[in-house]
Structure 1
Amino acid sequence: MPVIKKTKSLLFSAILLSSALFSQAHNVSEGYSKPTDPLVLQNLEDWQDLKFGLFMHWGTYSQWGIVESWSLCPEDESWTQRNPEHGKSYDEYVKNYENLQTTFNPVQFDPAKWAEATKKAGMKYVVFTTKHHDGFTMFDSQQTDYKITSSKTPFSKNPKADVTKEIFNTFRKDGFKIGAYFSKPDWHSDDYWWPYFPPKDRNVNYDPKKYPGRWENFKKFTFNQLNEITSGYGKIDILWLDGGWVRPFRTIDPKVEWQRTIKVEQDVDMDKIGNMARKNQPGIIVVDRTVSGKWENYVTPEQAIPEHALSIPWESCITMGDSFSYVPDDHYKSPQKIIETLVKIISRGGNYLMNIAPGPNGDYDAIVYERLKEISGWMEKNQSAVFSTRVIAPYHEENFYYTQSKDGNTVNVFHLNDTVEYKAPGNITFTVPESFNPKSLTILGLPSKIQWKKTGSHIEIKLPEERSKLKYALVIQMKK
């Protein structure tokens, strides 16, 4: 997954992507290209209706409770630091890290439990890490023995050993769209980090133009693994490709600091991969992160929310805790913070992909289920203002955030207070979207008839005493 754990504020234009988009290491890329395939366009439209998705980073690294994969990378960054207890030298550390395969045995793995809890909380699609940068495959790949189904891995004896298949089948049965995360770089592959040379950074450690045969082997390896995922795991709706430094050299944007570190050609032939994926899965959304063009069907700001609405499909991937991977005693966001984040994202036209990391035992922390239960209580009352909605001006004014139904007959106005625990005020005044003349107004979750009046372009509401029952955010729903 993405490197950046701390992100600067992003500035977005409502119509065009400004240069501020390109300052972020793993957020978005220049020159969005709208797909032309009608099946892809329909899939994107349907995906934009879903609004709330589940991201899961899970691998052998959960046993150490560390940042996913990145401690293998020989770069001196905050997210690449290694614990000396796990190896005094780099080589010893790598050996011990890869040996985690021999102790990985998440016997509490039960995807039905995850699907039930996340579905109740309103999540409608899942993106799972089938392989991260470390190269350990969480599916039954025939291209490597560094995988969860290898006889070297204790969990391989479990009937649910192919966790990718179990997750996809279980969530699909529960009505979720299915997304497969896949890392293009593979730091375990001898054809990416050739043992003849030490790795220098996150990039391939040799010049593919100088050693074309070795790079061709890596391209075949990557193609074959993606073919396995898109042909052998049922219907896949999203192929979510990470590791944007693996890209054609000509696509490097010199305005982006991390892209300036790419010194060699790393073209894996995305046309061949993308066409294969579309043949196996007609209409599949392909997200080649940060590589603009035909294979980046939506953009993916990370740990950040655009300040303004975007006119292109986008999704913010944000952690429920502090980390994308499992960390003991992580600091999980409050239900109010999660709902505020969801409201801000959907009011600007995006989807919220919230990451929850399973632990080494194969389950979430207990507090995660508590958070999901709280969210489900709010979502049960307010879901009509969240799902299958689109943006409407003024998008956001002070503590008010707007969405509208796709037919334009309903406008939803969310009232937040992200500085304190939410308490609905006795009186509210807000702007009515231009040319929208409401005939009825309700407060979702309150059965009482609401007193309101429209004066010019504003509506004033007097809320009943039972407003004290409202938690996290108040939702006003107006109909023509």
Structure 2
Amino acid sequence: GDQGIAEWIMNQKKIPIPQYEKLTNFFNPVQFNPAEWVSMVKKAGMKYITITSKHHEGFAMYNSKVSDYNVVKRTPYGKDIIKMLKDECDKQGIKLFFYYSQLDWHHPDYFPRGNTGQGFTGRPEKGDWNKYIDYMNAQLSELLTNYGEVGGIWFDGMWDKSDAPWRLDETYALIHKHQPGALVGSNHHKFPFPGEDFQMYERDLPGENSMGFNHTGAMSDLPLEMCETMNGSWGFNLADTNYKSTKQLLQTLIKSAGYGANFLLNTGPMPNGKIQPENVDTLAVMGKWLDKYGETIYGTRKGPINPTTWGASTQKDGKVWLHVLNCKEENLFIGKLPKKLKSAKFFEDQSAVKFKETELGVILNIPDSKKNTIDTIIQLEM
């Protein structure tokens, strides 16, 4: 879709701050129902939510005392969306992470400017960078002290000025001081820095770079997470109907698990506060799949066979599962296993899988009648 009519509109259409600020007068998501959102998330099989607390345009979706440029002070809606969602997450037992953009197209002290937000915002061409970092840390302190226990902080936007003095040590120490159990991750597209607790990949599987975001192919020893959109936009975009199929999303989730990574799937809420029906339907189908096959995904680590053209593998508690996503032939060569294969069976009906061990590796026999259009799961015993 056209990124310029979604969450990047201020930058892509070069809208000055005074004009962009007028949008707050129309922000009134009266049908926002946090119970509905969290129930949908649980039905989809998700275990946590990452909500935008502030995006690149600098507008806070919570009641910030540091800046009145926020949903409570500036909109007819006038409610703290973050608090409403956090209360419901606590009620339904879902962890809540806060997305926070380090990049800011609104704050005057975000200076010198980075690669974006230049020349059109109306900000003076001067500013005190350290004041901006102080402001950012003050907002983070609000998020970390006013909303109970949070799952973590999901940073974005450092790529705008990747070599700037971000004072990361100070920011990360602040987070871990206020919330020792909170996980810190940053979508800076680089190898993780000290103080980060997980490594994330934007719209690509770990180690891949088809989108051009993930400049380092290196995977750290930290927990991994891949984030992905349901169409081509992060924010709600009427013009973007290029929805990924349920099969495509499930297979990406499975491959992500095959790398040992979590799968963070995005949906951009509509202006009225509801989630668009197309996404609700897709998430429900994904949830039904996970109800049936989640044992082979949840809590697993990457299996003995790295993700490849035919699929991936996962393992947990001594069990190993092959996820065969693409196999046109009846015989599938899976290569060498770390131990001798004792038995193989289809997860679906526990029937035996015929196999042959050769010097080069193992060949599995998968009749067409046993193939699943999304994922043919085979459990191995070694």
Q: How far apart in 1 are the matches of 2:92 and 2:311?
A: 33
Question: Which residue of the partner structure matches residue 135 of structure 1?
Answer: 58
User: Residue 337 of structure 1: CA displacement?
Assistant: 0.3
Match for residue 449 of structure 1 among 351, 356, 376: 351
Judge which range, 454-463 or 355-364, deviates more: 454-463
Give the partner amino acid of 2:37.
Answer: W
Question: Which residue of the partner structure matches residue 390 of structure 1?
Answer: 301
User: Residue 426 of structure 1: CA displacement?
Assistant: 8.4
Q: How far apart in 1 are the matches of 2:25 and 2:165?
A: 33
Question: Which residue of the partner structure matches residue 163 of structure 1?
Answer: 81
CA contact (8 A) 1:115 1:170 kept: yes
Q: What aligned pairs does 1:174-253 form with structure 2 within 5 A after superposition?
A: 174-192=92-110, 199-200=118-119, 206=125, 214-245=128-159, 252=163
Question: Which residue of the partner structure matches residue 213 of structure 2?
Answer: none
User: Residue 277 of structure 1: CA displacement?
Assistant: 1.3
Identity %, equivalent residues: 29
Mapped pair 1:282 → 2:282: no
Structure 1 SS opposite 2:295: helix
* 1:286 to 1:400, Cα distance in 2 relative to 1, 3 A: closer
CA contact (8 A) 2:344 2:355 kept: no
Question: Which residue of the partner structure matches residue 325 of structure 1?
Answer: 235
Question: Which residue of the partner structure matches residue 43 of structure 1?
Answer: none
- Asked which structure has the greater RCO (Cα within 8 Å, sep 6+), the reply is 1
Summarize deviations over 1:281-320 as a string: whole Å, max 9, x none: 0132222432652133333221222348945333222111
Q: How far apart in 1 are the matches of 2:33 and 2:304?
A: 43
* 1:242 to 1:462, Cα distance in 2 relative to 1, 3 A: closer
Q: How far apart in 1 are the matches of 2:65 and 2:220?
A: 41
User: Residue 97 of structure 1: CA displacement?
Assistant: 2.0
Q: How far apart in 1 are the matches of 2:315 and 2:346?
A: 15
CA contact (8 A) 2:345 2:353 kept: no
* 1:464 to 1:450, Cα distance in 2 relative to 1, 3 A: farther
Q: TM-score if structure 1 supplies the norm length? A: 0.68
CA contact (8 A) 2:227 2:265 kept: yes
Mapped pair 1:71 → 2:9: yes
Question: Which residue of the partner structure matches residue 414 of structure 1?
Answer: 323
* 1:381 to 1:443, Cα distance in 2 relative to 1, 3 A: farther
* 1:243 to 1:425, Cα distance in 2 relative to 1, 3 A: closer
User: Residue 425 of structure 1: CA displacement?
Assistant: 6.4
Mapped pair 1:431 → 2:331: no
Give the partner amino acid of 1:285.
Answer: L
CA contact (8 A) 2:332 2:366 kept: no
Match for residue 153 of structure 1 among 66, 72, 75: 75
User: What RMSD in Å do the two structures reach over aligned CA positions?
Assistant: 3.0
Q: How far apart in 1 are the matches of 2:140 and 2:44?
A: 31
Give unpaired runs (5+ residues) of structure 1: 6-64, 74-79, 83-89, 253-265, 418-423
Q: How far apart in 2 are the matches of 1:400 and 1:243?
A: 33
Q: How far apart in 1 are the matches of 2:197 and 2:160?
A: 17
Give the partner amino acid of 1:229.
Answer: L
User: Residue 137 of structure 1: CA displacement?
Assistant: 0.5
* 1:275 to 1:201, Cα distance in 2 relative to 1, 3 A: farther
Q: How far apart in 2 are the matches of 1:309 and 1:123?
A: 27
Give unpaired runs (5+ residues) of structure 2: 209-216
Structure 1 SS opposite 2:5: coil
Q: TM-score if structure 2 supplies the norm length? A: 0.84
Structure 1 SS opposite 2:181: coil
User: Residue 100 of structure 1: CA displacement?
Assistant: 1.0
Give the partner amino acid of 2:142.
Answer: E
Summarize deviations over 1:208-232 as a string: whole Å, max 9, x none: xxx6xx4343232212110000111
Structure 1 SS opposite 2:77: helix
CA contact (8 A) 1:450 1:464 kept: no
Question: Which residue of the partner structure matches residue 365 of structure 2?
Answer: 461
